[in-house]
Structure formats: structure tokens, C-alpha cells
């Protein structure tokens, strides 16, 4: 058995979900594909949606790490946008499932966590009132989720333009003329 069974289960789930609706993936299918027992599955996860939530959290964490390694905030936003665009087909499949409401909640919570960690790590000297920060994080998470859902429906996405727009919006430069536009 692999050293990190939890990761193996999640990766197997995501691979299965590329070719099959998540509504059709069962714990039985997953344990058979992973060659593990049901007991092992339930040791790590409570159900299929728990696998999805954990896996999406791991993806957000990897994206955050990559974003923090970026040389600029604009480049960090580009990494985030690339992740959104690369996964838009998968997102489309998720949102077409009967679990759409739960998936939307998972995505918004994941985006909020991502933004909060990015804020704490990239701007530790900024002081925003805790209540104001909570509202700002919620606003940005819901807004980004809406944009993510929209991107998920598009066949073509101009990543550079979207990166620039999100960067300017999130840095307060959206409503003022910018000399740094590409």
C-alpha cells in the first residue's frame, strides 16, 4: 500500500471523475480501483464528497505554494488563473452533478481559505480589522467563485487579460487608469 493512502484515494477519484460523472462514482468503485478495503477508505474519508473536498483543498494548497514562489503579485495571480483555466472542464463536470450546491460551497470555502493564507503570507504587515477582513475575504471568495464558474463554461479564455483584470481588481487598481496594463 502506498505511503500516503489518502492522496492515492483522492488522485484515483479525480482520475475517475475525468471520464465519469461524480454522481456515478461509488465507494465500491473507488476501493476496487485503489485495491483497498472499504475500511481503509472509511478510515480516511467519510464519503465521496469528503474525498472531493479534501482533494480540492490539496489543489488549493499546491496553488498557494506556487503562487507564493512567484516573483510578483501579478505572476501569482497568473498561476491562480492558469489553475482555473486548466481545470475548467473538470469544474464543468462537477457543477453538472446533483451535488452542485455542496460543490459550490466547497469551492467558495476553498477560495476563502486560499485568499486568507495568501493575505497572511504575502501581506503580513497590513492591518485590517478582523471583521473587515472577514467581509473582504467573503466578498472576494464569492466573486472569484462566480468568475471561476463563468470560466468553466467558456471554451476559450484569454488568461493574460483575465489575470490582468483580477490583479487590478484585487489590488484596487481596477477603477483607476493603469500605466502598467500589458
DSSP string, 36-102: --HHHHHHH-SSHHHHHHHHHHHHHHHHHHHHHTSSSHHHHHHHHHHHHHHTHHHHHHHHTSTTHHH
Are the C-beta atoms of residues 1 and 31 closer than 8 Å to each other?
A: no
The 10s digit of each residue's pLDDT in 99-138 is 999 999 998 998 898 888 888 877 767 678 888 889 999 9
User: Is 43 or 72 the better-scoring residue by pLDDT?
Assistant: 43
**Could you tell me the pLDDT band of residue 39, with boundaries at 50, 70 and 90?**
very high
178 falls in which pLDDT band (50, 70, 90)?
Answer: low
Instruction: Lowest mean pLDDT of 25-34, 41-50, 83-92, 122-131, name the range.
Output: 122-131
What the block records as the C-alpha cell of 159 is 488568461
pLDDT tops 80 at residue 76: yes
| 28-37, 94-103, 124-133: least confidently modelled range | 124-133
Q: Given pLDDT bands bounded at 50, 70 and 90, which one contains residue 1?
A: very low
pLDDT at 34 over 90: yes
pLDDT for the residue numbered 15: 92
Position with higher pLDDT, 155 vs 1: 155
CA gap 138, 130 in Å, rounded = 12
Split at pLDDT 50, 70, 90, the class of 182 is low
Name the more confident of 50 and 167: 50
Q: Is the pLDDT of residue 181 over 70?
A: no
Instruction: List, for residues 10-27, the tens digit of each pLDDT value.
Output: 999 999 998 888 899 999
3 state SS for 112-170: HHHHHHHHHHHCCCCCCCHHHHHHHHHHHHHHHHHHHHHHHHCCCCCHHHHHHHHHHHH
Average pLDDT over the chain, rounded to an integer? 87
Amino acid at each position: 500500500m502506498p505511503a500516503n493512502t489518502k492522496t492515492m484515494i483522492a488522485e484515483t477519484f479525480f482520475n475517475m471523475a475525468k471520464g465519469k460523472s461524480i454522481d456515478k462514482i461509488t465507494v465500491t468503485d473507488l476501493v476496487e480501483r485503489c485495491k483497498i478495503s472499504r475500511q481503509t477508505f472509511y478510515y480516511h474519508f467519510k464519503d465521496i464528497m469528503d474525498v472531493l473536498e479534501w482533494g480540492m483543498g490539496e489543489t488549493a494548497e499546491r496553488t498557494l505554494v506556487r503562487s507564493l514562489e512567484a516573483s510578483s503579485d501579478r505572476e501569482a495571480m497568473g498561476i491562480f488563473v492558469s489553475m482555473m483555466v486548466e481545470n475548467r472542464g473538470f469544474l464543468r463536470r462537477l457543477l453538472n452533478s446533483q451535488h452542485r450546491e455542496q460543490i459550490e460551497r466547497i469551492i467558495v470555502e476553498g477560495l476563502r481559505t486560499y485568499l486568507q493564507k495568501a493575505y497572511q503570507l504575502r501581506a503580513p504587515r497590513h492591518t485590517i480589522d478582523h471583521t473587515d477582513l472577514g467581509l473582504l475575504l467573503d466578498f472576494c471568495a464569492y466573486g472569484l467563485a462566480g468568475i471561476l464558474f463563468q470560466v468553466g463554461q467558456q471554451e476559450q479564455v484569454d488568461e493574460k487579460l483575465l489575470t490582468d483584470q483580477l490583479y487590478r481588481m484585487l489590488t484596487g487598481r481596477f477603477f483607476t487608469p493603469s500605466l502598467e496594463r500589458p
